[in-house]
Amino acid sequence: MKEQDELLKVEGLTKWFPVRTGFLSTLVGQQLYVKAVDDVSFTVRKGEILGLAGESGSGKTTTGRLILRLINVTKGTIEFRGRNIAKLSSRQLKRVRRQLQIIFQDPYESLNPRMLVKDIVAEPVQVQHDYKTGEEVEERVKQALREVELVPPEEFMYRYPHELSGGQRQRVAVARAFILDPELVVAD
């Protein structure tokens, strides 16, 4: 495998969450941790699909959140296109984020119930300042909804998440993830 083919390279990825303990543990002075992800390594090449399998609570979601730096890494490296993003500042990470997107497992939890579908799907474009006019944003939203087969898009754009079926909400989450044409998508 050539290095330039590597889109994502994860080495020794570790995430330990501190356990809040009582007075006795504080007295002893030993911090306890839950090892959510412990020494995970893998490589994903451009065009490749990688699935993580495991039982509930095995760290699959945490691994996805670590890759996108939604939570901080305890130890290890996350190289995206040869650059270690595990230690990037928030400002540096913002530039990389347009190329990394996530589709959360439960769209009902991840979609803002107070936002219209058009605003939910448009949000990544607006956050990344990846548009020239409001009309351009609207056209991109319509195209994204067409790509996930929410057609005609005008029928869905002015609805709220609770007005959609579970499958339609999931499609909105997919449209939102793909609207920036990312290089890597993590599907939880």
Query: Could you tell me if 19 and 33 are in contact, meaning their C-beta atoms sit under 8 angstroms apart?
Result: yes
Give the amino acid at 13.
L
In whole angstroms, what is the distance from residue 62 CA to residue 170 CA?
20
DSSP 20: P
Judgement on whether residues 12 and 31 belong to the same structural domain of the protein:
yes
Distance CA 46, CA 174 (A): 19
Q: Residue 19 gets which letter from DSSP?
A: P
The verdict on 111 and 90 lying in the same domain is: no
Structure tokens at 160: 């709220």
Check whether residue 55 and residue 137 sit in a common domain: no
Last residue of a domain, one of 97, 120, 148: 97
Together in a domain, 91 and 149: no
Do both 162 and 89 map to the same domain?
no
pLDDT tens track for 8-47: 999 999 999 988 776 666 666 677 889 999 999 999 999 9
Residue 66 confidence (pLDDT) above 80: yes
- Domain limits at 86? 1-97
Claim to verify: residue 1 and residue 85 sit in the same structural domain: yes
User: Which pLDDT value is given to residue 170?
Assistant: 97
Residue that terminates a domain, selected from 97, 118, 150: 97
Average pLDDT, integer, range 148-165: 98
108 and 49 in one domain?
no
pLDDT at residue 48 greater than cutoff 80: yes
The CA distance from 34 to 139, in Å, is 46
CB-based burial label for 47 (10 Å; 0-12, 13-18, 19+): exposed
Q: Is the pLDDT of residue 1 over 60?
A: no
C-alpha 113/C-alpha 93 separation (Å) is 27
For the chain, the first-to-last Cα distance in angstroms comes to: 27
The mean pLDDT value for 56-76 works out to: 95
Residues 78, 132 share a domain: no
Q: What is the number of domains present in the chain?
A: 2
Q: Which of 74, 97, 120 is the last residue of a domain?
A: 97
Res 130: pLDDT: 72
Question: Two tokens at 57?
Answer: 């609570």
Question: What region, left, alpha or beta, does residue 136 occupy, with left being phi > 0 and alpha being psi -120 to 50 degrees?
Answer: alpha
pLDDT at 168: 97
Claim to verify: residue 132 and residue 89 sit in the same structural domain: no
Q: What is the pTM of this model?
A: 0.85
Question: 15 is written with which tokens?
Answer: 């995430």
C-beta atoms surrounding 52 within 10 Å: 14
Does 117 lie in the same domain as 80? no
d(CA 152, CA 145) in angstroms, rounded, equals 8
Q: Judge if 133 and 149 occupy the same domain.
A: yes
Asked whether residue 77 falls in the same domain as residue 37, the answer is: yes
Q: How far apart are CA 130 and CA 115, in angstroms?
A: 20
For residue 141, what is the domain's CATH number? 3.40.50.300
